[in-house]
Structure formats: structure tokens, C-alpha cells
Amino acid sequence: MSTEQLTKPLNSFSNVQTILPGFMLCGVIAAAASFISEHYGGPKFLYALLLGISFHFLVDNPRCILGIETCAKKLVRVGVALLGVRIAVSDISDLGALGIIALAAGVALTIGFSLLLARLLKLPYMLGLLAGGATGICGISAAMAISSTLPQNEENEHYTLLTAIGIATFSTVAMVMYPLIVSSLGLTTAEAGLFLGGSIHDVAQVVGAGYMLSPEVGDAATLAKMFRVAMLMPVIMILVFALRSEREKFNGKEGKRQPLVPLFLLVFIGLIVLNQFGWISKEVSTLFSTISTWCLVISIAALGVKTSFEKLIGLGWKPILLLLSNTVFIALYMLAIIYLGQIISS
């Protein structure tokens, strides 16, 4: 599947009948996960993920693919944007100066580590840049945004797809495993949120992992993650100028540009500001929170349907090692920051 084919479904809202089958599939999975959670206990996000994986055989069905892509790519942004009603500007203080500095440094260090490791593995530096940016910032959306700054050729399109497949898989694994790490280490709510939000790649998996533990951890993880997402803008601006000469060598057709600041991030920030001033009523806040939860559960179900461990194996061992090493690097880095904070505060 080409990059054009991958992104085309995300712009197909005009054809509701085309989107509906895949959307209904993910919606039914989300409803089943919610039913199991409410009646038997346990995290609905994890249930949605596992049930979604069992329907992976439908991901290539032409009747379902558009709806699945829409749920996985678009619906999660709606859900995250609406989470802004639960956070106020004053909550940023929960990150603390150490948290803010650590998150910003984590993005830069992960990209640098990825570029160095790609060189050692004799992989193209473009792949190292894509893998590091996707791991350090916000997963597949960061990979697509960074890809828009690269020379638009078939080679870089291939690297983008490799990164997207690997990031989706490792981010999903992290979503399941990292809450277990948080529980085993006995991290506080703030520490758990900083670790999950600072180390998991995609926004959806951060939210899923956080809310598996508690709503408070979910909010803290989302806040830390959105700070990382905000780092996409300066990174993209740097790459636009740094890679200008590279792009000028290619005068072919340009791919679609990604916005420097995603719309869902602007909505998220706007709702935080409105909530800070008390301009959002309790009823509206409750309604938005409910809609947000359903959007996120449905999107997690879609991510489960899309998860393919077979495709990851087909990438070859070097790209897998690069992506895995990046994942381990940022996780260990965030744990080191957390333990450093414990030492400083003691």
C-alpha cells in the first residue's frame, strides 16, 4: 500500500457509505469491550485492543478499510481534543520544570540516538530521522509530518511505510506492557503519567495505557504526551530549513503537506484555556468527556484491527532493531528522569 493510498482514506468523509462498514466494526468491538468492562471489571481499552486484534483479517477488506483508517487516524484526534475539558492551564505545573525540560530533551536525544544507531547499522539517515522523530514525538503522525519535509521520492515513501508499520506495533506492545512496569515499580500518579506520556509513541496508545491504570494517570499521561506533540512544530520547522537543499534536488510531484500544528492539538489547547477560565459548564464537560471516551475506545479497537505482527517480521532485522532500540532508549531515559526527580526531592 502506497503513502497516497494510506492517506487517501483519511480525507473521504464525503462518502459515508464507504466509511460506515469499518466504523460499525470498530464500534461494535468498542461496545463489546465496554460491556465486558462494566459487567466483569478490567480496562475497556485493553479489551478493545485484544478484541480488535482478533479481527485483523478484515483490515484488507475493501469494504472495511476506509472506516478502520478513519477510526484509527481521525477519531482518536477527536477524542484527545475533547480531553481538554478535563485539564486546566494550572495543571501544567504538575509536570514541573524537570518534567518540561526532560520531555523536550527526550525528543532531541531520541532523534540523535536514532540517527547515530542508523549510521552504525548502515541504514539510510532518512530512516533514522523518521524512526527517531516518530518514537520521540507522536508516532505515525510525526512520521507522516517529517516525511513531508523529505525529498518526495519512492525511497523515502518506503521508509515512511516501514516506520509506520514498526511504530504501530511497538507502540501497541508498549501500551500493554508499560502499565505493568508502572505497577511493578510503584510509581506515583504524576510519575506514571510522565513515564507513559513521555515514552509511548502514539497518542492513542498513551491514552489507552494511562486509563488502564486510572483516570488520573490517564489525564497526566495525556498532558505529558500533548507537550511532546507540541514539539512537532519546532522539529518540523528545523527540518524544513535543514533539508531544503535536499528537496531542491527533486522537482517531481510533491506529496500532501502536513500542518505544522495539528488541528486536534489546537482544539485541545483551546478547551484547556476555556476550562481554566471556568467557561465550560459541568454538564458540557461531562458530555464531552463521555464522547471523548467512546471515540478513544473505538479508535483503540481500530488500532487493534490494524495490528500485524507478520508485517513487522517482513521488515528485516535492522529496521526492527532500530525501532526497538529507540523504544527502549526513550523508556529507560524517562525512568532515569523519574528516579532523578525522586533523588532531588528526597
Residue 251 per-residue DSSP state? -
Q: Within a domain: residue 52?
A: no
Whole-model pTM?
Answer: 0.72
Q: Within a domain: residue 27?
A: no
Q: Within a domain: residue 196?
A: yes
pLDDT of residue 128: 94
User: In this structure, are residues 143 and 163 in contact, taking their beta carbons and an 8 Å threshold?
Assistant: yes
Q: Within a domain: residue 327?
A: yes
Cβ neighbours around 336 below 10 Å, total = 11
Q: Within a domain: residue 36?
A: no
User: In this structure, are residues 21 and 64 in contact, taking their beta carbons and an 8 Å threshold?
Assistant: yes
Which of 6-43 are b and which e, b meaning 16 or more Cβ less than 10 Å from the residue's Cβ? Answer: beebeeeeeeeebbbbbbebbbebbbebbeebeeeeeb
Using the structure block, give the residue that is written with the C-alpha cell 458530555. 287
Using the structure block, give the residue that is written with the C-alpha cell 471523548. 292
Q: Within a domain: residue 236?
A: yes
Question: Which cell goes with 134?
Answer: 516518530
pLDDT of residue 146: 84
Task: Give the pLDDT means over successive 10-residue stretches in the chain (346 positions).
Answer: 45 70 96 93 82 90 91 84 76 75 94 96 92 90 78 73 82 91 93 94 88 91 86 81 69 50 79 85 90 90 81 74 95 95 85
CB under 8 Å to 314, separation ≥6 — which residues?
none
Q: Within a domain: residue 105?
A: yes
Left if phi > 0, otherwise alpha if psi is -120 to 50, otherwise beta: which for 88? beta
CB under 8 Å to 4, separation ≥6 — which residues?
255
pLDDT of residue 76: 81
Using the structure block, give the residue that is written with the C-alpha cell 506492557. 177
Full domain range(s) for residue 194? 79-345
Q: Within a domain: residue 144?
A: yes
Question: How many domains does the structure of the chain reveal?
Answer: 1
